[in-house]
Amino acid sequence: MITRRDFLQWSAVTGAFAAGYCGSLTQLAAQQKITQEDLLRFDSKGTVTLLHLTDIHAQLKPIYFRPPDTNIGVGNFEGIPPHLVGQTFLDHFNIKNGSMLAYAHTMTDYVNLARSYGKLGGLDRMATLVKAIRADRGEDKVLLLDGGDTWQGSYTSLKTNGQDMVDCMKLLKPDAMVGHWEFTFGTDRVNELIEEMDYPFLASNVFDNEWDEPVFEHTAFYEKGGHKVAVIGQAMPYTPIANPRWMFPEWSFGIRAEVLQANVEKARAAGAEVVVLLSHNGFDVDQKLATVVSGIDVILTGHTHDAVPEAIQIGSTLVLSSGSHGKYLGRVDLEIKNGKVVDHNSYLIPVLADVVQPDKEMSAKIDEVRAPYEAECNRVIGKTDSLLYRRGNFNGTWDDLICDSMIAERDAELSFSPGFRWGTTNLPGSDITVDDLYNQTSMNYPSVYRVEFTGTQIKEILEDVCDNLFNKDPFSQQGGDMVRVGGMGYTCAPKQEIGNRISNMTHLKTGEPIDPGKSYVVAGWASVNEDVEGPPIWDLVETHIKSLGTVKLEANTSVKVNDA
């Protein structure tokens, strides 16, 4: 077995992946240098293996997903993982330009590397890797944990109300899961799907509003490798703020650190030698939580879609974030002696779709659940000459296309689109299909509203969302990335306090400053308010893409960041 560091060096591969790599590598050459066995090679430790996947967002098939070019940390989290991108990320983790890991983790030379290494993910490829590790380590040593945001994010998940994902995940056989976007299917549907699962849905921090009692199991116990392992679940704490409260009105959320501490202590009292927090808090929240709650050995975190090559140690707690969209399978091996974790090894396995052999059973199930919708999913609605992506603190090109669509189709001056982190990538020169469109828009509150806001209200909205993202206290970060804007520019100062982060708001069409006392017609979607009227976002964007024929977007420089 090679060590993790050896693997990082190997993955830089030999001469073709030198620092001066400029994208000349062909896909065939890349694939010939990497095998499934290479991806699985790992310096095993101890007798307990944790496997972690999170934020799949209903992606059953392999996808492209461009990592962010902006991921700003503030306060104690400035300039440390996960708030590193591009070359800074590569230098920090000693990853060579042009390597497989450079492609998986950064946007550096993204298009060339995407064409070389191909797509990532696919639940059938994930199944192959999981089965291989279970076979190698022994099923009695392996726990597979699902970090949530699993059921939502695609055409088929929308049309089946999450049934496609539940059916497929049952074949993968997770040992437990937690949730966030799952709750947007509504209370009744969430309970229906949980009833179908043969593994627990955990949430230490979700309580019934009437009786103030836990809604779900908070802890599950397992015997693995001769040791008792407790897994405690944590749902996204601010689900009723980030998503419509009216969809699950009987339930309350929150971080509830004191409840979590009590559940950790109960698990220890029940004989747990290892305590794992399966969390959908987000990376920064869980980095802070590791300093607030004692007794947790491993936090497997999700929600923020961050990916780091290895777990980060905070005190005596390991924190691993395993990316999103099925791009990675996280692995943590633990050695336990005298009831304590004494050694570990960890790694994120990039799920290279052209390298990993698809699992036949899972492939058949994916084909089955998609069959009624396959023709519509593959229907081409346009082409793109531009790289279309979403992920990053500010506008991505898919966001720009959505914002342009709302302005054009709703006769608006300005537009707002949520800072969702989910949504896949289209390479230049590719078709845009219905599948692609719904990967950006699939949700249960899609209406596009048309309202008037004053300049003062617009600034208040931007300041509020900005504080959710850049509050120096992670426990006060309650949303996704920054709201995307169309038709206007502004300057953002993330290190300032609320009320002082947004300036220089400009109406791009006129070149004039946004007037605080003037009203502007604004189109937007995904409002958390009930009974919002307007066409669904996917119909509106499809109409706009068809009118363009081929999408070609100019570079968006309207949002400027002042990081002084």
Contact 41, 127 (CB under 8 A): no
Residues 304 and 426 in one domain: no
pLDDT score recorded for residue 22: 38
Residues 143 and 216 in one domain: yes
pLDDT score recorded for residue 27: 54
- Cα(174)–Cα(481) distance, integer angstroms: 29
- Cα(474)–Cα(478) distance, integer angstroms: 9
pLDDT score recorded for residue 223: 98
DSSP collapsed to 3 states, 360-387: HHHHHHHHHHHHHHHHHHCCEEEEECCC
Residues 219 and 252 in one domain: yes
Q: What is the pTM of this model?
A: 0.94
pLDDT score recorded for residue 33: 83
- Cα(61)–Cα(203) distance, integer angstroms: 28
- Cα(145)–Cα(300) distance, integer angstroms: 9
Last residue within a domain, chosen from 118, 134, 162: 118
Token readout for 484 is: 């995307």
- Cα(494)–Cα(492) distance, integer angstroms: 6
3-state DSSP call for residue 209? coil
Mean pLDDT by 10 residues, the chain (564 residues): 43 35 46 86 96 98 97 94 96 96 97 97 98 97 98 98 98 98 98 97 97 97 98 97 96 98 98 98 97 98 96 97 98 96 97 97 98 98 98 94 98 97 98 98 98 98 95 89 97 95 97 98 97 97 98 94 81
Helix segments in 120-227, DSSP class H? 123-137, 155-159, 163-172, 187-196
Residues 243 and 337 in one domain: yes
What is the total count of domains within the chain?
A: 3
Residues 44 and 160 in one domain: yes
Residues 20 and 45 in one domain: no
Q: What is the CATH number of the domain that holds 238?
A: 3.60.21.10
Residues 83 and 123 in one domain: no
What element of type H or E holds 286?
A: helix 283-292
Residues 423 and 311 in one domain: no
Token readout for 405 is: 């669509």
pLDDT score recorded for residue 50: 98
What element of type H or E holds 399?
A: helix 397-409
Q: What is the CATH number of the domain that holds 557?
A: 3.90.780.10
pLDDT score recorded for residue 17: 32
Residues 134 and 244 in one domain: yes
Name the residue range of residue 467's domain.
Answer: 378-561
Contact 441, 153 (CB under 8 A): no
Contact 273, 222 (CB under 8 A): no
Residues 184 and 246 in one domain: yes
Residues 90 and 166 in one domain: no
What element of type H or E holds 269?
A: helix 257-269
Total residues found in the chain within this entry: 564
Provide, rounded to the nearest whole percent, the portion of the chain with pLDDT above 70: 94
Last residue within a domain, chosen from 102, 118, 134: 118
pLDDT score recorded for residue 356: 97
Q: Which of 55, 534, 40 is nearest to 322 (CA)?
A: 55
Identify the DSSP state of 541. H
pLDDT score recorded for residue 30: 57
Residues 221 and 156 in one domain: yes
- Cα(417)–Cα(303) distance, integer angstroms: 19
pLDDT score recorded for residue 15: 32
Last residue within a domain, chosen from 320, 347, 369: 369
